Amino acid sequence: MTPDRTISLANDIACAIATLQAVADELLTAYPDSDYDREDDAAIVGQISQQPMPSKKATTLEEVRGILADKASSGHRESVQALIQKHGAKRLSEVDPLEFDALIEEARAIK
């Protein structure tokens, strides 16, 4: 996932959270006698936020090579070469591993 896409996704999530909070506030206003307790939710959120986030498995050169090989064998050899060069290398083995995810995303977009 590209940094721009990540920022866009984070903004979308923030907007969704704000919308859900507004809906929750409206419901609490509409039903003031409910037995809902916000403090229970705060405790649950606190427990969740303390749990470690699972780390994403690093993409390997072999995974990238497999995807690019499929594209190249499907008649997109020149496009695959252009992608490798776009990521600053003459050969796939010279591409920075930090570029692998972006390279895969761009390769999958080749039609």
pLDDT digits (tens, 9 = 90+) for 22-75: 888 888 788 877 766 666 676 776 776 676 766 678 889 999 999 999 999 999
State how far the Cα of 67 lies from the Cα of 65, in Å rounded to an integer: 6
With pLDDT > 70 as the criterion, what percentage of the chain qualifies? 86
Q: Specify the DSSP class assigned to residue 94.
A: G
Q: What span, in angstroms and rounded, lies between the C-alpha atoms of 94 and 87?
A: 9
As given in the structure block, the two tokens for residue 23 are: 């809906």
CA-wise closest residue to 107 among 73, 79, 78: 79
* CA 15/CA 101 separation, integer angstroms: 26
